Amino acid sequence: MSAHRRGSKAVGKDSSHLSSQITTSLLRISGSSTFVTLLVGPEERQITCHKALLGYYSEYLNGMPYGNCIEAHQGEIKLPEDNNEDISAFVKWATTGNIYACHQTIGDPYLVKYDIKSPALNSPDIQRLWVLGNKFIASKFTNDVMRLLMKKDSKHYLSPPAADSKLFNREEWLDLLERGGSLSRECAATGFNNRLSQEEDGDDD
């Protein structure tokens, strides 16, 4: 049993290394070290990000730094209607691949422990991130946020009417997952990683 857990730890390290390799490959694919400056909100606060990462994760932003628009030549993208913290969260997610570490009010899951009273899991910022992901046509980011929302909802105590509604929504989700696609694959991968994390925690006790 212990050998299995040691193997699980190795898988976790390999996954982290693979994530680093993917990021490195993206930077190489870009052919340069070009960065884009995002001018966020009416105050145009500046947030910089590698052009290749923005183009890879967001179809919406991909059309700006690589297209024929003015932003492509100036190396700037204006986002006057967006929230500075939300854009910063998206950039952090794009560079780290970690939805929990990307936003200060979401926090580290190992510290939050998914407490239903935690401001991290009851913050409207999570919903805003989902809306942002839809706007940016960033399916992987949106899927990560959706899984976080599902995790939050699963921790609330419900009255009978609310429970019926929750069951209906859960069945709709199961129907959606049965169709396959990227969301199903990523949910399966997240469940596998969570299982490995639980085994590692148990091995340490």
- Rounded CA-CA distance 131/77 in Å is 19
User: In terms of domains, do 103 and 165 share one?
Assistant: no
User: In terms of domains, do 133 and 180 share one?
Assistant: no
So what's the pLDDT on residue 42? 92
pLDDT band at 82 (very low <50, low <70, confident <90, very high): very high
User: In terms of domains, do 166 and 85 share one?
Assistant: no
- Rounded CA-CA distance 57/120 in Å is 25
The verdict on residue 14 lying in a domain is no
Contact 85, 38 (CB under 8 A): no
So what's the pLDDT on residue 35? 85
The verdict on residue 17 lying in a domain is no
Contact 67, 58 (CB under 8 A): no
- Average pLDDT in the 38-57 region? 90
Domain interval for residue 107 = 33-157
User: In terms of domains, do 70 and 82 share one?
Assistant: yes
User: In terms of domains, do 172 and 138 share one?
Assistant: no
User: In terms of domains, do 88 and 169 share one?
Assistant: no
User: In terms of domains, do 152 and 177 share one?
Assistant: no
Contact 167, 159 (CB under 8 A): no
User: In terms of domains, do 168 and 150 share one?
Assistant: no
The verdict on residue 90 lying in a domain is yes
So what's the pLDDT on residue 146? 85
User: In terms of domains, do 179 and 96 share one?
Assistant: no
> Which stretches of 119-181 are DSSP H helices?
125-135, 139-153, 160-178
Pairing state of beta strands 35-40 and 76-79? parallel
User: In terms of domains, do 48 and 135 share one?
Assistant: yes
Whose tokens are 């046509």? That residue is 137
Report residue 129 as tokens. 């991130």
Flag whether pLDDT at 40 surpasses 90.
Answer: yes
User: In terms of domains, do 104 and 184 share one?
Assistant: no
pLDDT greater at residue 3 or residue 105: 105
Domain count, the chain: 2
The verdict on residue 11 lying in a domain is no
User: In terms of domains, do 137 and 176 share one?
Assistant: no
- Rounded CA-CA distance 164/173 in Å is 14
For position 143, which CATH number holds? 3.30.710.10
Report residue 3 as tokens. 């050998």
pTM: 0.56
pLDDT digits (tens, 9 = 90+) for 175-198: 666 776 776 667 666 666 666 665
Mean pLDDT of the chain: 68
- % of the chain surpassing 90 pLDDT: 14
Q: Give the count of beta carbons closer than 10 Å to the beta carbon of residue 26.
A: 16
Report residue 9 as tokens. 């730890």
The verdict on residue 126 lying in a domain is yes
Report residue 188 as tokens. 């399966």
